[in-house]
């Protein structure tokens, strides 16, 4: 019996899922042949193709696809109702094509070897090591804040435009490449999202568009956080999909920047995650450490809290839940909590490379 092309494409979704899950059990294979083989060519091609465009091509693509889908559902509602099985087949076909494109363009990076292996790091969950590291990080953050403001009570105001931060982050990757050559970054394609306000209401600081390979940043974020977010999204662009790993890369490239404002942004970013972990482990230790922060550092943390709280809405937990499920389905079993797993990478890295 002859099978139509549409049916074949729709049915191919099942073997695709099986193949991807099989590859997930063979991380070395993904690392060698995709993440370090095919993917760099794909990424560089699309960065070259869209990097020069001053706006987000990917955002426009998403908008056009969503608008087309809505128009189709409205105008073809009678036909859809009369031919339900054909409609379901068409949905399966679209999902199949999207699944294949997503994994071929970027998504297989979810199944590569952990960054800790490449860096030869030994991660631990030792609480005292975390406390000791956090105390050093508090000192480093306080020193950076005081160096900039000359007054421990003043919040740091990063004076650069977003385009300047983009360019300075690329320069930071050039510095980082000297220490870790595998983090070489060329042919930049970093932009603010056209839907930054929507991203903020959803609770996101940025994202990588896997279909255009554009690093998208939330354009209304306070500058205090912007440098690390740019570094984070470029980390995704370089093929690191796990959120703890790109949090770590974003911290690292910002900390290795020669600019004092970037260094402060990086130390404060890492400190926030470490303090959260300490509070979960022992509230008394957290309460003991907080007073040692310069008032200006506390003001910067408060700036971020006020920003996110001003956009809280009933739908944010829904979007976070969807993203949590997405991460779990893509080889990140901790889901959205994987962002916090950056702490063990920070502690392990700075055992080898002291602050």
Separation in Å, CA 172 to CA 185, 249, 306: 10, 11, 29
pLDDT value at residue 1: 44
Q: Are 145 and 63 in contact (CB under 8 A)?
A: no
Q: Which two tokens stand for residue 225?
A: 């956080």
Under-50 pLDDT residues of the chain: 1
Examine the domain organization and report whether 33 and 181 are in the same domain: no
Examine the domain organization and report whether 77 and 28 are in the same domain: yes
Examine the domain organization and report whether 35 and 172 are in the same domain: no
pLDDT value at residue 4: 84
Rounded Cα distance, 145 and 151, in Å: 8
Choosing from 111, 134, 167, the residue where a domain stops is 111
Examine the domain organization and report whether 72 and 193 are in the same domain: no
For β-strands 206-209 and 214-217, DSSP reports them as antiparallel
DSSP letters for 30-95: HIIIIIIIIHHHHHHHHHHHHTTSSS-HHHHHHHHHHHHHHHHHHHTHHHHHHTHHHHHHHHHHHH
Examine the domain organization and report whether 270 and 295 are in the same domain: yes
**What size, in residues, is the chain?**
355
Q: Are 36 and 240 in contact (CB under 8 A)?
A: no
For 157, the domain range is 116-352
pLDDT value at residue 247: 95
* Sequence-separated (6 or more) residues with CB below 8 Å from residue 14: none
Q: Are 126 and 194 in contact (CB under 8 A)?
A: no
Examine the domain organization and report whether 210 and 312 are in the same domain: yes
Examine the domain organization and report whether 325 and 266 are in the same domain: yes
Give the tens place of pLDDT for each residue, 279-305: 988 999 999 999 999 999 999 999 999
Rounded Cα distance, 327 and 111, in Å: 12
Examine the domain organization and report whether 340 and 204 are in the same domain: yes
Q: Give me the percent of the chain exceeding a pLDDT of 90.
A: 83
pLDDT value at residue 332: 66
pLDDT value at residue 125: 84
pLDDT value at residue 141: 97
Nearest to 121 by CA among 244, 253, 274: 244
For β-strands 190-192 and 206-209, DSSP reports them as unpaired
DSSP annotation of 205 reads: S
Examine the domain organization and report whether 193 and 87 are in the same domain: no
DSSP letters for 117-128: HHHT------HH
Examine the domain organization and report whether 91 and 138 are in the same domain: no
How many independent structural domains does the chain possess?
Answer: 2
Choosing from 91, 111, 131, the residue where a domain stops is 111
Q: Report phi then psi at 303, rounded to 5.
A: -55, -45
Q: Report phi then psi at 195, rounded to 5.
A: -115, 40
Examine the domain organization and report whether 143 and 225 are in the same domain: yes
Examine the domain organization and report whether 239 and 217 are in the same domain: yes
Give the tens place of pLDDT for each residue, 236-257: 999 999 999 999 999 999 999 9
pLDDT value at residue 110: 94
Provide the edge-to-edge strand list for the sheet that holds 206-209.
190-192, 214-217, 206-209
Rounded Cα distance, 64 and 54, in Å: 18
Choosing from 65, 89, 111, the residue where a domain stops is 111
């Amino acid at each position: 019996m002859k099978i139509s092309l549409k049916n074949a494409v729709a049915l191919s979704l099942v073997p695709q899922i099986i193949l991807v899950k099989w590859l997930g059990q063979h991380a070395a294979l993904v690392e060698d042949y995709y993440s370090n083989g095919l993917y760099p060519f794909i990424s560089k091609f699309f960065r070259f193709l869209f990097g020069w465009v001053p706006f987000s091509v990917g955002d426009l693509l998403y908008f056009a696809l969503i608008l087309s889908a809505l128009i189709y559902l409205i105008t073809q509602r009678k036909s859809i109702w009369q031919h339900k099985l054909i409609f379901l087949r068409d949905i399966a076909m679209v999902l199949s094509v999207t699944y294949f494109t997503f994994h071929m363009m970027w998504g297989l990076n979810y199944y590569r070897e952990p960054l800790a292996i490449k860096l030869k790091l030994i991660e631990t969950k030792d609480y005292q090591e975390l406390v000791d590291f956090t105390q050093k990080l508090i000192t480093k953050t306080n020193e950076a804040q005081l160096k900039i403001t000359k007054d421990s009570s003043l919040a740091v105001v990063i004076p650069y435009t977003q385009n300047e931060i983009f360019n300075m982050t690329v320069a930071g990757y050039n510095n980082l490449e000297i220490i870790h050559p595998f983090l070489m970054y060329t042919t930049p394609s970093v932009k603010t999202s056209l839907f930054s306000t929507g991203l903020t209401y959803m609770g996101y600081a940025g994202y990588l568009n896997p279909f255009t390979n554009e690093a998208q940043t939330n354009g209304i974020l306070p500058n205090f956080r912007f440098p690390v977010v740019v570094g984070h999204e470029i980390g995704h662009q370089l093929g690191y999909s796990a959120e703890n790993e790109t949090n770590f890369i974003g911290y690292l490239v910002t900390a290795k920047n020669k600019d004092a404002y970037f260094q402060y942004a990086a130390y404060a970013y890492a400190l926030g995650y470490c303090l959260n972990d300490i509070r979960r482990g022992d509230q008394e230790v957290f309460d003991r450490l907080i007073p040692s922060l310069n008032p200006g550092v506390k003001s910067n943390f408060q700036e971020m809290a006020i920003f996110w709280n001003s956009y809280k809405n009933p739908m944010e937990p829904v979007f976070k839940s969807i993203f949590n499920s997405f991460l779990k389905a893509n080889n990140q079993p901790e889901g959205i909590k994987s962002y916090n797993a950056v702490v063990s990478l920070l502690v392990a890295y700075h055992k080898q490379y002291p602050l």
